[in-house]
Amino acid sequence: MIDRELLRILACPACVAPLEQRGDRLCCLGCGRRYPIRDGIPVLLVEEAEPPATEPGG
């Protein structure tokens, strides 16, 4: 679990939107990228992020 204070100041490196923790990922509320958390450390590298989920029919 990422500390709430740290999560409050982190932002997506791709679009600078806020992030929220979902399981073992930090999810961008703007672009939808999902960043891994490894050994309790968020890996905020765009090249390490999972791409945004595509919407059905889109």
Q: Rounded to a whole number, what is the distance in angstroms from the first to the last CA of the chain?
A: 33
Per-residue pLDDT of the chain (58 residues; tens, 9 = 90+): 889 999 999 999 999 999 999 999 999 999 999 999 999 999 999 999 999 877 555 4
The CA distance from 56 to 43, in Å, is 28
Q: What is the CATH number of domain 4-48?
A: 2.20.25
pTM: 0.86
Would you kindly state where each structural domain of the chain is located, as residue ranges? 4-48
Please report the pLDDT score of residue 55 as a whole number: 59
Q: How many CB atoms lie within 10 A of CB 5?
A: 7
